[in-house]
Structure 1
Amino acid sequence: MSRYGAEFLSQGEVCAIYQCLEGHIHLRYRTLDITMDANDFSQVADVFIEAARVLQQVEQPVTEELDLENMDVSTKV
């Protein structure tokens, strides 16, 4: 049991997610504690998942090679 009277659903070094005895889901980050219902939590989780996916794509090295000899570089006026 946590000091909040509920089991943690997930926790890391700087954040945790737990459900309090009133049924609210709490996202705790450092000193910030955001309370939401299950529907809001699902939407927030989807946003976090999408952001993590985008960040992973940005951090991956580009492996595509450009064929500069065959590239159309005509000037547009």
Structure 2
Amino acid sequence: ASGTFPGLAQLTADVLAALRKGVPGASEAAKEVLLVGGSAQFVNFKARLQASVTELAAETLGKRAKVHFAKDRRHS
């Protein structure tokens, strides 16, 4: 729908698809993603995100992906 934002799963799938196609700049977009507040504070968010990213990466790239979390943003 117009005016809505894609969810994290869709954004992740889009980046992985771009990586697979060799889209310029896709690897830079995939290197680091910072999630602050909001859904990142949900119970079991890390485990659910890791499972989703791992599944999408395996399907799209045939590789494993790792999600790293930090409680606080230490640098910009």
Using the size of structure 1 for normalisation, the TM-score is: 0.23
Query: Which structure's residues are more often strand, by fraction?
Result: 1
- Greater RCO, 1 or 2 (C-alpha within 8 Å, sep 6+): 2
Using the size of structure 2 for normalisation, the TM-score is: 0.23
